[in-house]
A and B are shown apart, each in its own frame.
Chain A
Amino acid sequence: MQVRVTITLKAGVLDPQGKAIEGALRGLGFAGIDGARQGKIVDLALAETDPARARAAVAEMCEKLLANTVIENYDIDVLG
Chain B
Amino acid sequence: MRSAVVLFPGSNRDHDMVKALYDVTGFRPTVVWHQDATLPDVDLIVLPGGFSYGDYLRCGAIAARSPAMLDVARKAKAGVRVLGVCNGFQILTEAGLLPGALMRNAHLRFVCKEVKLEVTNDDTDFTRAYRKGQVIRCPVAHHDGNYFADPETLARLEGDGRVAFRYAEGTNPNGSINDIAGILNEAGNVLGMMPHPENLIEALHGGLDGRGLFESVVRTIAA
Contacts and interface: CB of A to CB of B under 8 A. Distances in A.
Contacts of B94: 68
**Which of B62, B104, B106 counts the most A-chain CB atoms under 10 A from its CB?**
B104
A16 interface: yes
B150 A70 contact: yes
Contacts of A68: 58, 61, 94, 101
A46 B100 CA distance: 31
Q: Which range holds the interface residue count of chain B?
A: 20 to 34
Given A68-B94, A70-B100, A14 B58 contact: no
Given A14-B106, A20-B108, A66 B57 contact: yes
A14 B146 CA distance: 10
Contacts of B58: 68
- A interface secondary structure, majority: helix
A65 B175 contact: no
Contacts of A71: 101, 103, 148
22 contacts: A13-B103, A14-B103, A14-B146, A16-B103, A16-B104, A16-B105, A16-B106, A16-B107, A16-B108, A16-B146, A16-B175, A17-B104, A17-B108, A64-B65, A65-B61, A65-B62, A65-B65, A68-B58, A68-B61, A70-B99, A70-B148, A71-B101
The 8 A-B residue pairs whose C-beta atoms are closest, nearest first, are A70-B101, A71-B101, A16-B108, A16-B104, A16-B106, A68-B101, A68-B58, A20-B108
Interface of A: 13-14, 16-17, 20, 64-66, 68, 70-71
Interface of B: 57-58, 61-62, 65, 93-94, 99-101, 103-108, 146, 148-150, 175
